[in-house]
Structure 1
Amino acid sequence: MKKRYLFGMVLLLLFGMQAQAQQDEVIEKIIQEARENSQLKEIAHELMDGIGPRLVGSPQMQEAHDWAVEKYQSWGIEARNEQWGEWRGWDRGITHIDMMEPWVKSLAGTQLAWSPASPVGGASGEVIILPDLQDSAAFQAWLPNVKGKYVMISAPQLTGRPDYNWEEWATEESFEKMKAERTIFERAWQGRIQKTGLGRRELPQALEDAGALGILTSYWSRGFGANKIFSAYTKKVPTVDLSLEDYGMLYRLADSGKKPMIHLNAQSKETGVQPTFNTIAEIKGTEKPDEYVMLSAHFDSWDGGTGATDNGTGTIMMMEVMRILKEVYPNPKRTILVGHWGSEEQGLNGSRAFVEDHPEMMGKIQALFNQDNGTGRVANVSGQGFIHSYEYLGRWMSKVPREITRDIETTFPGNPGGGGSDYASFVAAGVPAFSLSSLSWSYFNYTWHTNLDTYDKIVFDDVQNNVILAAIMVYMASEEPEMVSRERRIPIGRDGNPTSWPAQRSPTRKGGMD
């Protein structure tokens, strides 16, 4: 009996050693494929340069969905586009802005998303500043003055130098003086807007209803050359965001009585109601095909730049992970899915729709890994409130090369994310979904929703490290013998008191058409 027991133990040990050797071999192949045959630059060029930005409802968004399906299929991976809603269709045309008086200069600016077009050929008019009036009655009395003119409604910047540039070169006294003056000016401008009696949505509409030719804004991103580009609130005339430099020049000219004139030609097109999609790709599981490990990244972007770091880098990372896994791990134990979500920028709509439309899957997702915030290497991972996340995430991450994980900060069990990116849609449904949060690389100043979010800002070495991390984590999650624990903690609020788990929210399925 004792000999039989010892023989059984030896067999178990041998099987365990064999399984460990096989596991290590797959991991080595993942690392080798990622480092020696990376397709990241090719995929990024095709997406960012070849297709461009991916505003929901735009032709480029549809082109991107179709391109991704074809790309996956070329790698032997099944892929499809799943419609989940409809959106206002809009196609960005040319935007050309020229100052004609008091001298001639082409200006740097971008028509805001979903902005109406100029008349054919554009329109010329004087530039005026929203005045500082006594109250809403005075504003209503002044409104007829905007007819046939372009109205500036943003505060100009007192300096075009970011604070870090001042900190490097200015005296402490000069820097403090500038900040104090800026604060006073910004508060005064906020008061100027408030005295119109209108909010930021209603003010542009009131101006266009009074006959303004267009609205001029400037949303500086606190970095050299960077402006945030969001959506327009006008319904009939164009809204254009100008660079800090050109906006400031026009403001000073108008303020000093020089009566600057511009010619604006913004030729966007309304394209009617357009379907909206998520792109889903999968590598079918062999032992447990109805259990899933998921990769996640939103596919859409704002369109000031080409959406390179928000979220082109998350997109190309997940595509590369899928390509590598298909190459070195073609028969996973569980089905590996990737979701490229539509309309994240308008409220996590694509991922919320997927959760709502596939309730039968939510209890069968082993883990989900989402990446969204820029090109940097992963620096933070939270357990999202799942009590035992430390045990399995720590075990899976231990298989990743130390040079990739050594600087990653972890928080366990952490609190569940209620928003911010698409992992939150799954966390709300009780899925162990985790954000692979990246180093900044000046993300919020220079690329997040800006005109500078372009291919050249991608740091491919960091993205490649993220590919290796995610591919190994997915592989380990797929091979895990059992489903991981979903036990959750009671979330703790910022005040230190218990709060509730985030609730599932329905997506906006008909967007931009109000």
Structure 2
Amino acid sequence: MIKKFLPAFFLFTSSFAFAQDKFVENVVKEASQNSQLEKLAHELMDVVGPRLVGSPQMKQSNDWVVKKYGEWNISAKNEKWGEWRGWERGVTHVDLISPRLRTLEATQLAWSPSTNGKAIKAEAIILPEVITDSISFQKWLPNVKGKVVLISHNQISGRPDDNWEKFATKDLFEKYKKEKADAARSFSQNLAKTGLNAKALALALENAGAAAIVINNWSQGFGVDKVFGANTKKIPTVNFSVEDYGLVYRLAKFGSKPVVNIVSESKENGVVPTFNTIAEIKGKEKPNEYVMLSAHLDSWDAASGATDNGSGTILMMETMRILKKFYPNPKRTILVGHWGSEEQGLNGSRAFVEDNPKIIDNLQALFNQDNGTGRVVNISGQGFAKAKDYITKWLEKVPDTIKNQIKTSFPGMPGAGGSDFASFVAVGAPGFSLSSTSWDYGTYTWHTNRDSYDKLVFDEIRNNVVLAAILVYMACEDPERTSREKAELPANPRTGKATEWPKQQKATRKGGID
């Protein structure tokens, strides 16, 4: 019997290995020779544009994703998970009109009130450079009535540190770094004497009759700013570039009484529904077990949301397209989650975890990508004790040119936030981050006014498509279920106490509404 069994066994294993190799060959060829990434990126980033939660563009992107999957014969639908303040960006145009004319680089903050069809023409002033205490600040507050108020630190240089380091002498660079740090600290200490945090300060200025608020949230790179949400309720808040903020700031500081003209339009759309977009390739042998791809679809809206997280979105879509073509009958069901409102606290994925306990209980693995356009260089076991056993096995079929770039860490530490995989890790489900190399993500594209199509590196994303497709295939085909055993976590070096597994956080189901 043993003699009869062995040839059949070897025939089976060799045919299985051949099938794996053929799948990998097909994926590599399709990803490199028939890539749809550029077309997907154009349609999402250029045509739809940024995807702020609650905006019409967010719903447009949900519908676009469903439509694209439909073209590939992949089942997809939008699943409502909550509601959000509906808001739509309009035209913003700001000019310095005195003491000279200059059109300023300015971006309205998300959810900022509008100028209501009328231009605001007003003198720009700065906060007192010496604030004694909260009482003195309250006495100064009436000065803001009818004025445009600049409330951010004025940078002493708009050159990035690496530019200083490259061209300055060593002594000059050290001098600059000290002056920069001292100035930032002095500004923060002075601002603290108002007794108000950032939100309370904006509201205090608004209530005192300010015409508008101007900030600069420089991202420490040429021409780049972080642009988030407004704290004002009735007056507009706009971000000036570091260069133009400095110009207006100096004019105000040295008594030139700068006057700016602000048109900053937006539209309030009431309370609107918010959605995740979920697509599925049904499993044939174990349809009630799941392997998931994951990327958030929403973005901030100062640019196009290209690397945060348009690149992750098109990566997962292209991976699903290729899986449907070469692996149409997977052993386990393949799902992909395109999440909403990740930027406000992983809300879409947290809601999915809350609403789908059967999927969570039967999740083989989830692979999430959300830190820029670069090739994947890190995969952590996220604190799961046996993660090394299966992830290492799944990586074996990945081409060396891709696999050799990846550093793994096992068992790793469980992610407590940062992106949507953490929503799954918090409930003990095996969610993993496909973490990419930087491409100056943190400075130049993460939540900035420069996160646009031209920053995408398509060859790197193509590599990630190959990786993701093979990981999903191997996870689907694995005869064993993944272990959820948690590793013993090391002590927190600051407290000396044992590190606790992250706790599940509830989704905010109704946001942006006071």
TM class, shorter-length:
over 0.9
- Structure 2 unmatched runs, 5+: none
Percent identity between matched residues is 59
Cα deviation, residue 133, structure 1: 2.2
Which aligned pairs between 1:441-460 and structure 2 lie closer than 5 A?
Answer: 441-460=439-458
Determine if the alignment matches structure 1 residue 87 to structure 2 residue 104: no
- Residue 513 of structure 1 corresponds to which residue in structure 2? 513
Compute the RMSD of aligned alpha carbons.
0.9
Kept in 2, the 8 Å contact 1:490–1:500? The answer is no
Cα deviation, residue 18, structure 1: 1.1
Which aligned pairs between 1:238-387 and structure 2 lie closer than 5 A?
Answer: 238-387=236-385
Q: Secondary structure at the match of 2:125?
A: strand
Kept in 1, the 8 Å contact 2:297–2:309? The answer is yes
Spell out, residue by residue over 1:295-322, the C-alpha distance to the aligned partner (whole angstroms, 9 max, x if none): 0001100111110000000000000000
Determine if the alignment matches structure 1 residue 127 to structure 2 residue 124: yes
Match of 1:164 among 162, 170, 173: 162
Determine if the alignment matches structure 1 residue 98 to structure 2 residue 101: no
- Residue 34 of structure 1 corresponds to which residue in structure 2? 31
Which aligned pairs between 1:92-241 and structure 2 lie closer than 5 A?
Answer: 92-131=89-128, 132-241=130-239
C-alpha distance in 2, partners of 1:513/1:135? 33
- Residue 504 of structure 1 corresponds to which residue in structure 2? 504
Spell out, residue by residue over 1:59-99, the C-alpha distance to the aligned partner (whole angstroms, 9 max, x if none): 10000000000010110000000000000010000000000
Match of 1:68 among 42, 59, 65: 65
C-alpha distance in 1, partners of 2:28/2:290? 23
Spell out, residue by residue over 1:371-411, the C-alpha distance to the aligned partner (whole angstroms, 9 max, x if none): 00000000110001111111111111110100001121110
Match of 1:433 among 431, 434, 444: 431
C-alpha distance in 1, partners of 2:171/2:492? 36
**Over 6 Å off, 4+ runs:** none
C-alpha distance in 1, partners of 2:497/2:137? 46
Q: Given residue 345 of structure 1, which amino acid in structure 2 is its aligned partner?
A: E
C-alpha distance in 1, partners of 2:333/2:25? 21
Kept in 1, the 8 Å contact 2:492–2:499? The answer is no
C-alpha distance in 1, partners of 2:43/2:89? 20
Spell out, residue by residue over 1:136-188, the C-alpha distance to the aligned partner (whole angstroms, 9 max, x if none): 11111111111110000001110011000011000011111111111111111
Q: Secondary structure at the match of 1:94?
A: strand
Match of 1:55 among 37, 52, 55: 52
C-alpha distance in 2, partners of 1:467/1:220? 33
Say how many residue pairs are matched: 511
Q: Given residue 120 of structure 1, which amino acid in structure 2 is its aligned partner?
A: G
Spell out, residue by residue over 1:441-484, the C-alpha distance to the aligned partner (whole angstroms, 9 max, x if none): 00001000000000000000000000000000000000111211
Kept in 1, the 8 Å contact 2:384–2:487? The answer is yes
C-alpha distance in 2, partners of 1:39/1:205? 47
C-alpha distance in 2, partners of 1:331/1:505? 35
Kept in 2, the 8 Å contact 1:490–1:501? The answer is no
Cα deviation, residue 208, structure 1: 0.8
Q: Secondary structure at the match of 1:201?
A: helix
Kept in 2, the 8 Å contact 1:298–1:342? The answer is yes
C-alpha distance in 1, partners of 2:75/2:230? 38
Match of 2:392 among 391, 394, 398: 394
Cα deviation, residue 493, structure 1: 4.1
C-alpha distance in 2, partners of 1:420/1:490? 22
Kept in 1, the 8 Å contact 2:90–2:265? The answer is yes
Cα deviation, residue 121, structure 1: 2.5
C-alpha distance in 1, partners of 2:350/2:373? 24
Q: Secondary structure at the match of 1:98?
A: strand
Kept in 2, the 8 Å contact 1:380–1:408? The answer is yes
Cα deviation, residue 9, structure 1: 1.1
C-alpha distance in 1, partners of 2:497/2:397? 36
C-alpha distance in 2, partners of 1:136/1:118? 30
Kept in 1, the 8 Å contact 2:290–2:362? The answer is yes
Cα deviation, residue 494, structure 1: 3.6
C-alpha distance in 2, partners of 1:264/1:193? 25
Cα deviation, residue 119, structure 1: 3.3
Q: Given residue 27 of structure 1, which amino acid in structure 2 is its aligned partner?
A: V
C-alpha distance in 1, partners of 2:75/2:207? 51
C-alpha distance in 2, partners of 1:505/1:241? 32
C-alpha distance in 2, partners of 1:84/1:50? 25
C-alpha distance in 2, partners of 1:192/1:447? 30
- Residue 480 of structure 1 corresponds to which residue in structure 2? 478
Cα deviation, residue 12, structure 1: 0.8
